């Protein structure tokens, strides 16, 4: 096996310089643990940015990949395959929506949903019915359509001009939503829980208001559940918590247990605006991806994992709240189930680096938010182990922050 240094040197020479990677190279995983090339074990509280909900090397996923790879991996969408319809049926039954389109990533699901609401707008209100409302602090992906719906400047900067026809309103601001809404709006797109934005929930009142104004103006309501969906909140769809059903939901991340896959699901009245030739993909919905996704859904049920997400997620919330009570640098615990965060008053990088050295993985978003997206297999004992490490490093940075303050206060004034 190549060493860590060899792996890094090769990447630095040959790869596009897109990622500021953490200084570790992993070679394998098992359950809630990852192992680096030197054999060191890490407790995985991030699961590949919310993807590995079944942890690593789940035996049923390994078996299904082996079996299906030996039969057929890819066919293209020129032909039928035995699993795409079955997966569509399952997801539609579980979501209350009617039709599915399969993609290879979250961003592609967003792009497809965007095309769908635009196609609907054009067909029902003419070319001027093309405005899409999105939320401030949103993240929907990095391709030009998804980026245009992503409000955060750091992702957009330097890529102008953006796609036209997007209006942003603040999260949970019903008055702003109402005033942004008119007959030219074809869709409202939002994350029920903003992920990259720092784990911020939209309120049930706001979601209900979205449903109302969208209906009043003959537009479509689109939820991006790419990060918060597919079980992460303890329900298969996050919208189940809020009692508001969207017209379209975008899903991805864990849906094929680590194999790249996304989808958007749509109500029939909307879906009919995409007809043969108007949208498509070479890879999306292949037999291997669909079969793994079916296995993923079956495992969630067979292992009662949504119940586990709710139970262990509740325990994690409680433990994060205890940290808020104990450390002044931690001001708020947010989120639910296996999508949670700790708001810090200081940049989180030193805490992350210290925790990683002690064998705990999570990430920092928005500079000061420690984000946790653990596998659904997480148990209370893993939470305890992770919290012990977090506590240690919160203590270290808090002490350092206090010392710096005292040192600054004690500096002689001129």
What one-character DSSP code corresponds to residue 160? P
Q: Is 253 a catalytic residue?
A: yes
The interaxial angle of helices 287-302 and 84-95, nearest 10 deg, is: 40
Which residue stretch of 73-81, 163-171, 189-197, 387-395 sits at the interface with ligand PLP (rule: CB under 6 A)?
A: 189-197
Asked whether position 226 contacts ligand PLP by CB under 6 A, the answer is yes
Alpha-carbon distance 159 to 251, whole Å? Answer: 26
Alpha-carbon distance 71 to 406, whole Å? Answer: 67
- Token readout for 22 is 């953490």
List 196, 201, 247, 295, residue binding ligand PLP (CB under 6 A) = 196
List 48, 55, 88, 106, residue binding ligand PLP (CB under 6 A) = 106
Q: Smaller CB distance to ligand PLP: residue 198 or 354? A: 198
Alpha-carbon distance 117 to 221, whole Å? Answer: 9
Strand 248-251 to 262-266 pairing: antiparallel
The CA angle 181-186-192, to the nearest 5 degrees, is 75
Identify the active-site residue in 101, 139, 327, 362: 139
Query: Which residues have CB under 8 Å from 1's CB, separation 6+?
Result: 27, 37
Closest approach of ligand PLP to the CB of residue 59, in Å: 25
Closest approach of ligand PLP to the CB of residue 335, in Å: 13
Residue number with the smallest Cβ distance to ligand PLP? 106
Alpha-carbon distance 84 to 293, whole Å? Answer: 10
Q: Smaller CB distance to ligand PLP: residue 106 or 374? A: 106
Q: Smaller CB distance to ligand PLP: residue 105 or 308? A: 105
Asked whether position 238 contacts ligand PLP by CB under 6 A, the answer is no
Q: Smaller CB distance to ligand PLP: residue 230 or 329? A: 230
Q: Smaller CB distance to ligand PLP: residue 253 or 382? A: 253
Query: Which residues have CB under 8 Å from 198's CB, separation 6+?
Result: 137, 334, 341, 343, 365, 366, 369, 371
**Per-residue binding letters, 53-82, with ligand PLP (x by CB under 6 A):** ------------------------------
Residues 116-175 that bind ligand PLP (CB under 6 A): 139-141
Closest CA to 351 of 341, 340, 363: 363
Identify the active-site residue in 45, 129, 206, 224: 224
**Per-residue binding letters, 243-282, with ligand PLP (x by CB under 6 A):** ---------x------------------------------
Closest approach of ligand PLP to the CB of residue 177, in Å: 19
Q: Smaller CB distance to ligand PLP: residue 169 or 330? A: 169
Where residue 230 falls (left for φ over 0; alpha for ψ -120 to 50; beta otherwise) is: left
Tell me if the bond preceding 272 is cis, omega within 30° of 0.
no
User: Do the beta carbons of residue 53 and residue 231 sit within 8 Å?
Assistant: yes
Q: How many CB atoms lie within 10 A of CB 220?
A: 25
Closest approach of ligand PLP to the CB of residue 232, in Å: 11
Closest approach of ligand PLP to the CB of residue 265, in Å: 15
Q: Is 224 a catalytic residue?
A: yes
Instruction: Kindly state the helix (H) or strand (E) to which residue 334 belongs, with its residue range.
Output: strand 330-336
Closest approach of ligand PLP to the CB of residue 102, in Å: 13
- Residues touching ligand PLP, count (CB under 6 A): 14
- Token readout for 99 is 């039709």
Closest approach of ligand PLP to the CB of residue 376, in Å: 17
List 44, 191, 247, 295, residue binding ligand PLP (CB under 6 A) = 191
Closest CA to 302 of 21, 54, 17: 54
Asked whether position 366 contacts ligand PLP by CB under 6 A, the answer is no
Alpha-carbon distance 210 to 171, whole Å? Answer: 11
Q: Smaller CB distance to ligand PLP: residue 191 or 201? A: 191
SS3 236: coil
Identify the active-site residue in 129, 253, 267, 319: 253
Q: How many residues does the chain have?
A: 414
User: Do the beta carbons of residue 281 and residue 111 sit within 8 Å?
Assistant: no
Tell me which residues are annotated as active site: 139, 224, 253
Interface contacts to ligand PLP, rule CB under 6 A: 105-107, 110, 139-141, 191, 195-196, 224, 226-227, 252
């Amino acid at each position: 096996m190549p060493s860590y240094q060899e792996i890094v040197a090769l990447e630095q020479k040959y790869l596009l310089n897109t990622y500021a990677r953490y200084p570790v190279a992993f070679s394998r995983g098992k359950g809630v643990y990852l192992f680096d090339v030197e054999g060191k074990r890490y407790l995985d509280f991030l699961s590949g940015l919310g993807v590995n909900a079944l942890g690593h090397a789940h035996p049923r996923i390994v078996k299904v990949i082996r079996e299906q790879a030996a039969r057929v991996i890819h066919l293209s969408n020129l032909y039928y395959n035995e699993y795409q319809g079955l997966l569509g049926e399952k997801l539609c039954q579980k979501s209350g929506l009617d039709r599915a389109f399969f993609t290879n990533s979250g961003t592609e699901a967003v792009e497809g949903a965007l095309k769908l609401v635009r196609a609907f707008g054009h067909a029902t209100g003419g070319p001027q019915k093309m405005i899409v409302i999105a939320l401030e602090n949103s993240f929907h992906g990095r391709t030009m359509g998804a980026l245009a719906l992503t409000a955060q400047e750091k992702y957009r900067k330097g890529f102008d001009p953006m796609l036209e026809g997007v209006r942003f309103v603040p999260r949970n601001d019903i008055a702003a939503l109402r005033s942004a809404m008119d007959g030219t709006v074809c869709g409202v797109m939002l994350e029920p829980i903003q992920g990259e934005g720092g784990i911020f929930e939209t309120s049930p009142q706001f979601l209900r208001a979205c449903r109302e104004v969208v209906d009043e103006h003959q537009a479509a309501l689109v939820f991006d559940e790419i990060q918060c969906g597919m079980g992460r909140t303890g329900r298969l769809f996050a919208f189940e918590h809020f009692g508001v059903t969207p017209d379209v939901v975008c899903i991805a991340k864990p849906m094929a247990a680590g194999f790249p896959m996304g989808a958007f699901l749509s109500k029939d009245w909307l879906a009919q605006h995409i007809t043969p030739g108007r949208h498509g993909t070479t890879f999306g919905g292949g037999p291997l991806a669909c079969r793994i996704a079916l296995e993923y859904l079956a495992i969630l049920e067979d292992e009662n994992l949504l119940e586990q997400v709710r139970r262990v997620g509740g325990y994690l919330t409680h433990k994060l709240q205890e940290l808020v009570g104990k450390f002044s640098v931690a001001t708020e615990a947010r989120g639910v189930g296996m999508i949670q965060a700790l708001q810090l008053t200081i940049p989180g990088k030193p805490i992350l680096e210290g925790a990683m050295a002690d064998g705990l993985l999570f990430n920092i978003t928005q500079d000061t938010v420690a984000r946790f997206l653990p596998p659904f297999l997480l148990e209370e004992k893993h939470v305890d182990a992770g919290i012990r490490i977090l506590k240690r490093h919160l203590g270290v940075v808090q002490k350092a922050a206090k010392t710096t303050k005292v040192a600054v206060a004690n500096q002689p004034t001129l």
